[in-house]
A and B are shown apart, each in its own frame.
Chain A
Amino acid sequence: MPDATAEQKQFKFKVVLLGEGCVGKSSLVLRFVENKFSSRHLSTIQASFQSKTVHIDDCKAELHIWDTAGQEKYHALGPIYYRGSNGVLLVFDITDRRSFEKVKNWVLEIKTCLGKTAEILIVGNKIDLEDERQVSRQDAEVYAETEGALYMETSAQENMGISDAFEALTSKMIDHARTNTTETSTSNRSIRLIDGEEEGRRSRSKKCCR
């Protein structure tokens, strides 16, 4: 594996989607990967793991996307999915305040487990339901900023903002990887629990300080 350098053009990233049930995680992935949408659940074609290649400028990034089941019980799967992740999409439903609060829990958990090794993108989904919005865009943006995360809004149903969101995350992950020349992707496979941010920065990346 080539060392990550500023010239690196090929990347592989592990991305995990987290969020409460019914916020549209699977729909996001389905829309992004296969450009499909169904108001019913297409369990037959949804998959908890998908991959898709994204081109950013002249770079090619292969995203390995893990989609988690939203039910509370499946949260135990979270650590398996997000360990070694380069990016995390925290999805909430803009019409459901509770799902936004849940995102905050996830941010804490991610930061605890991954330090700063992963880029975080918070996604407010279902903006086609603007009328029922309960979480204002401003609130979410402010929160994201305090956590050093990106914030974007999407609609899987209307196919709004989804590829933008993944591309934005990919860009950040590329920047992250390039600033982190000492790390190879193989290190992603083991779990690291890093308490200090300094530690995390040194070991994995300089990432989000942009």
Chain B
Amino acid sequence: MPSRNVHFSLSISILNAVFFGFGRAWLTSTSSPTTAQTSTESELVWRRAKHNAPPPSTTSKSSAPHQWSAVNHELKNRQQKIAKVLPTPQPRGHHNRNMSIVGGVGPAMMSECRRSSDYAQLCDFASEKHGVHLDVHSSEFWLKLLKLDQKLLSIFVEIEDDAVSVAGTVFNEPWDSNVWENLLDLAHHGDESTMGLKVSEPIQEEDSDSDRTAGGDSTCQMDSDDDDEDDVEDEVIRWQTEKMMRRPLPSDRVTVKGWEQDADAGSSKFSTLESRSKNGSIAGSTLRRQPEGSFSIRSLPRALSRFSQSIGMNGMSAAASFGSIDDLPTTLPSMSPLLSGRISRAQLPRSASTDEKIGRAVQEYVEELAEVKEGDNACFGLTLRQFIACTKDTKETDPAVVIRNVRQFINGMKNYLVKHGEGDLHRIIDEESARLNSNQILNIDAVLEAVLHKLLLREVKPLLYHVMIKEHSKAGALQLISQNQGVVRKMNLTELGFTNPESLVTPAPSILEQVKLLMRKMQNHYSPMKKLENLMKAVGLVLGCQNNGNENENPTDPMSCGHRGLPPGDDLVRWFVYILARTSTVGCEVEAWYMWELLPQPVVTQSDASYYLTSLWSAVHVLKSAEAIRRLCENDQRVLMSLDSSRHCCSSPLLSTATLTRGTSAGLVQMISAATCDAFVKIAIPDEAIGCVRYATFPGVPMLTTSKLSRLVAHQQGITNPEEHGL
């Protein structure tokens, strides 16, 4: 196989999806879901629309001046663009000269540890001594033609979001580090000491190589420490591809089956019939390959969206032909756009970075700038260093304030470098852009985000952890979580209240070991993107083994997996609770907070990542309360179905009944909230297309606002016009 890791620049299907749709889903309140659901199921047809969504280069739009890339410009003039996706060859165990690697790693270890970095980056090719798979290098080729529709992209870009701040409160007592350390011991988590809990302690980054990554790549490339190395590239391709493809037509709306892994490259959303079929065939031949037993994030279910296609019948036929192909979990790709800040760029950076030199030059130059101490080009370096020094020096004890400053600073520096520039940066960017193929896009925003994470977050992460942990140990939250995790650890899946415990598979010890490793890597890494990536992989592993167990289930029974696409919120939260407990991730709240606060806005608001992160928060919330755990566990069918309004027992302050009913009175969103426990919100979603009402459960967290919730609902349900239903 020529290329190990193919980086696709595909955009998220959601974004690419056609937005006018008849398949409108209204959020309404309903009292009898059951019958409706049943009928719905029978009508379900599996269809798949294939979308090769091109990643529109939002980046170029928003952050990169048009002049940077003549190519981009040209592309913009046309509505549809064809993008080539270059697979990036990644040497497996490459050595990053600039990074210090965790010592004494044998080749095997190397490959494992570095896997993430394999995908990552730009620089790694420099030294090939470890490059076991050098053959890959020569393999740049066009894998695919993608269609880009910038207009559609821009639509999504406009969506604004309100940030959720999970902020801590001010505490007054000094931090007792012993408490924390004891907790660690309790958790039997030997590695946690490296979590950066101690400020003075340098954090080891397991995948330091990945630092070199150009922004978007890191998200897209999951490193699999697992066994799927050879298949990685294929999976990536498939995964991304599928995610784009998966938009069922409204009429045949089906829940997409999240677990199937066939990949085909669908044609795009907007595409005409011919393009679709053409792409499909091409993709099918090139891309499809499914690694067996390999697991990756890609196996996570992704959101499915129902949208109407103007070419409905055509789409349907195309979908039908590929019906066997199923949905891949698209989670990661969807978050990758994050970096770029715009939705579909997720892949863009990647394609750009596939040429290892492209993003790398920019990255290296920015790093050079960071070292400049005087002269006309010193502004960035001076500001950066001064900011780090000031941050480390701060006596501010409110973690929310500290981290806010950091995020704000990152945003500002990106703006500065892009809009103002420094030194030869703009010239280098221009040069890089000029070297791109006509269908490649340099996602400068993603590149800068990644390099700033490296330059800044690596420095301040210990401080952020320190402040946060101090606060939490104050409130006793850490201890509480540790205790409650101990309780949960003794429970089996049935006791945890899963909806269909008998159909679930308890993850094997070996899987749990992998999950544990991933969770540890998550905690060790300074990059929120890498953290998210590892988290998603961990969840993907657990959900993936469920998939295997359920593989033969009737695909026409979407309800068995909840709504395919993203898993139902209640079970997902239970899985998170399970994972956090089994891996003794006592610092889960810190991790969730770190990611929430530091991930670029689009990631936390518009991607599948936000769904998973919200679920994580919800799980953390549950773990902080024995009562919440009890309710979670009692959350059997009987309780779930009771929509008695008196059961509106959301303990989340902002997710109160009042908040939700406000929507009802507005007539835009009618939600009946029957939160069965602190962690969930149950929402009835009338589906006009099939005339039934479905129920979906969503994670609820403190500070979850109605608009945020409606966005989550829309995302999971594939509603493309949430603003029409929102408040």
- Residues in A lying within 8 Å of B, measured CB to CB: 26, 36, 38, 40-51, 64, 66-67, 69, 71, 73-74, 76-77, 80-81, 189-190
Contact A47 B408 (CB under 8 A): yes
- B605: chain A residues at CB < 8 Å are 44
Contact A77 B390 (CB under 8 A): yes
Contact A45 B419 (CB under 8 A): no
- A43: chain B residues at CB < 8 Å are 163, 165, 403-405, 407-408, 597
Q: How far is the CA of A76 from the CA of B391 in the complex (A)?
A: 11
Contact A47 B163 (CB under 8 A): no
Choice from A36, A73, A189 contacting B396 with Cβ under 8 Å: A73
Contact B390 A73 (CB under 8 A): yes
Known: A40-B163, A69-B405. A46 touches B415 (CB 8 A): no
Contact A46 B390 (CB under 8 A): no
Q: How far is the CA of A43 from the CA of B601 in the complex (A)?
A: 9
- B387: chain A residues at CB < 8 Å are 74, 77
B487 located at the interface, meaning its Cβ lies under 8 Å from any Cβ of chain A in the complex: no
B643-678 residues with Cβ-Cβ distance < 8 A to A are none
Known: A71-B394, A77-B390. A40 touches B165 (CB 8 A): yes
B412 located at the interface, meaning its Cβ lies under 8 Å from any Cβ of chain A in the complex: yes
Contact A46 B411 (CB under 8 A): yes
Contact B160 A36 (CB under 8 A): yes
Known: A44-B601, A189-B376. A49 touches B403 (CB 8 A): no
Q: How far is the CA of A64 from the CA of B422 in the complex (A)?
A: 13
Contact B386 A80 (CB under 8 A): yes
Q: How far is the CA of A111 from the CA of B383 in the complex (A)?
A: 21
Q: How far is the CA of A153 from the CA of B152 in the complex (A)?
A: 40
B258 located at the interface, meaning its Cβ lies under 8 Å from any Cβ of chain A in the complex: no
Q: How far is the CA of A138 from the CA of B575 in the complex (A)?
A: 61
Contact B401 A26 (CB under 8 A): no
B389 located at the interface, meaning its Cβ lies under 8 Å from any Cβ of chain A in the complex: yes
Q: How far is the CA of A137 from the CA of B420 in the complex (A)?
A: 36
- B404: chain A residues at CB < 8 Å are 41, 43, 46
Q: How far is the CA of A42 from the CA of B604 in the complex (A)?
A: 13
Contact A51 B390 (CB under 8 A): no
- Whole-angstrom distance from the CB of A134 to the nearest CB of chain B? 23
Choice from B163, B382, B408, B415 contacting A38 with Cβ under 8 Å: B163
Residue of B nearest to A47 (CB): B411
Q: How far is the CA of A190 from the CA of B400 in the complex (A)?
A: 35
Residue of A nearest to B419 (CB): A51
Choice from B160, B390, B408, B420 contacting A64 with Cβ under 8 Å: B420
- Mask, B105-136, CB within 8 Å of A = 1, is 00000000000000000000000000000000
Choice from A41, A66, A76 contacting B165 with Cβ under 8 Å: A41
Please provide the 8 A-B residue pairs with the shortest distance between their CB atoms, ordered closest to farther: A48-B412, A47-B411, A43-B404, A49-B412, A44-B601, A49-B416, A47-B412, A73-B394
- A38: chain B residues at CB < 8 Å are 162-163
B493 located at the interface, meaning its Cβ lies under 8 Å from any Cβ of chain A in the complex: no
Choice from B390, B403, B420 contacting A74 with Cβ under 8 Å: B390
Known: A64-B420, A77-B387. A45 touches B163 (CB 8 A): yes
Contact B412 A44 (CB under 8 A): no
Q: How far is the CA of A110 from the CA of B601 in the complex (A)?
A: 34
- Mask, B152-183, CB within 8 Å of A = 1, is 00000000101101000000000000000000
Q: How far is the CA of A66 from the CA of B400 in the complex (A)?
A: 21
Q: How far is the CA of A47 from the CA of B389 in the complex (A)?
A: 19
- A189: chain B residues at CB < 8 Å are 376, 379
- A46: chain B residues at CB < 8 Å are 404, 407-408, 411
Ordered by A's residue number, 21 sampled pairs between the chains whose C-beta atoms are within 8 Å are A43-B165, A44-B600, A45-B601, A46-B411, A48-B412, A49-B411, A49-B415, A50-B415, A64-B416, A64-B419, A67-B408, A69-B390, A71-B396, A71-B405, A73-B391, A74-B390, A74-B394, A76-B386, A77-B390, A81-B383, A189-B376
B365 located at the interface, meaning its Cβ lies under 8 Å from any Cβ of chain A in the complex: no
Choice from A26, A42, A51, A71 contacting B415 with Cβ under 8 Å: A51
Q: How far is the CA of A142 from the CA of B95 in the complex (A)?
A: 65
- A69: chain B residues at CB < 8 Å are 390, 405, 408-409
B393 located at the interface, meaning its Cβ lies under 8 Å from any Cβ of chain A in the complex: yes
- Residues in B lying within 8 Å of A, measured CB to CB: 160, 162-163, 165, 376, 379, 382-383, 386-387, 389-391, 393-396, 400-401, 403-405, 407-409, 411-416, 419-420, 597, 600-601, 604-605
Residue of B nearest to A40 (CB): B165
Other A-B contacts than A43-B407, A73-B395, A76-B389, 17 sampled, CB-CB below 8 A, are: A41-B163, A43-B405, A44-B163, A44-B597, A44-B605, A45-B601, A47-B414, A48-B409, A48-B413, A49-B420, A69-B390, A71-B405, A73-B391, A73-B394, A74-B394, A76-B390, A189-B376
Secondary structure at chain B's binding surface: helix, strand, loop or mixed? helix
Q: How far is the CA of A67 from the CA of B412 in the complex (A)?
A: 8
Contact A42 B401 (CB under 8 A): no
Find the residue from A49, A50, A64 having the highest chain B CB count within 10 A.
A49
- Whole-angstrom distance from the CB of A30 to the nearest CB of chain B? 10
- B601: chain A residues at CB < 8 Å are 44-45
Known: A44-B600, A45-B601. A26 touches B408 (CB 8 A): yes
- B604: chain A residues at CB < 8 Å are 44
Q: How far is the CA of A36 from the CA of B416 in the complex (A)?
A: 20
Contact B600 A80 (CB under 8 A): no
Q: How far is the CA of A46 from the CA of B404 in the complex (A)?
A: 9
- A67: chain B residues at CB < 8 Å are 408, 412
Known: A44-B600, A47-B412, A69-B408. A77 touches B403 (CB 8 A): no
Q: How far is the CA of A189 from the CA of B374 in the complex (A)?
A: 11
- B400: chain A residues at CB < 8 Å are 41
- Whole-angstrom distance from the CB of B279 to the nearest CB of chain A? 35
- Whole-angstrom distance from the CB of B726 to the nearest CB of chain A? 16
- Whole-angstrom distance from the CB of B394 to the nearest CB of chain A? 4
Q: How far is the CA of A76 from the CA of B389 in the complex (A)?
A: 9
- A42: chain B residues at CB < 8 Å are 162-163
- A80: chain B residues at CB < 8 Å are 379, 382-383, 386
- A26: chain B residues at CB < 8 Å are 408
Q: How far is the CA of A77 from the CA of B416 in the complex (A)?
A: 15
- Whole-angstrom distance from the CB of B381 to the nearest CB of chain A? 10
Residue of B nearest to A43 (CB): B404
Q: How far is the CA of A66 from the CA of B404 in the complex (A)?
A: 16
Find the residue from A38, A47, A50 having the highest chain B CB count within 10 A.
A47
Residue of A nearest to B408 (CB): A46
Q: How far is the CA of A80 from the CA of B390 in the complex (A)?
A: 13
- A36: chain B residues at CB < 8 Å are 160
Find the residue from A41, A47, A48, A71 having the highest chain B CB count within 10 A.
A48
Residue of A nearest to B601 (CB): A44
- Whole-angstrom distance from the CB of A18 to the nearest CB of chain B? 14
- B391: chain A residues at CB < 8 Å are 73
Residue of B nearest to A74 (CB): B390
- B395: chain A residues at CB < 8 Å are 73
Find the residue from B376, B393, B405 having the highest chain A CB count within 10 A.
B405
Contact A50 B412 (CB under 8 A): yes
Q: How far is the CA of A36 from the CA of B163 in the complex (A)?
A: 12
Q: How far is the CA of A189 from the CA of B375 in the complex (A)?
A: 8
- B413: chain A residues at CB < 8 Å are 48-49
Q: How far is the CA of A76 from the CA of B400 in the complex (A)?
A: 21
Residue of B nearest to A12 (CB): B420
- Whole-angstrom distance from the CB of B403 to the nearest CB of chain A? 7
Q: How far is the CA of A67 from the CA of B411 in the complex (A)?
A: 11
Residue of A nearest to B415 (CB): A49
- Whole-angstrom distance from the CB of B385 to the nearest CB of chain A? 9
Q: How far is the CA of A66 from the CA of B409 in the complex (A)?
A: 10
Q: How far is the CA of A36 from the CA of B685 in the complex (A)?
A: 31
- B393: chain A residues at CB < 8 Å are 73
- Whole-angstrom distance from the CB of B683 to the nearest CB of chain A? 24
- Whole-angstrom distance from the CB of B449 to the nearest CB of chain A? 12
Residue of B nearest to A77 (CB): B386
Q: How far is the CA of A64 from the CA of B420 in the complex (A)?
A: 8
Contact A45 B390 (CB under 8 A): no
- B420: chain A residues at CB < 8 Å are 49, 51, 64
- A40: chain B residues at CB < 8 Å are 162-163, 165
Q: How far is the CA of A74 from the CA of B406 in the complex (A)?
A: 12
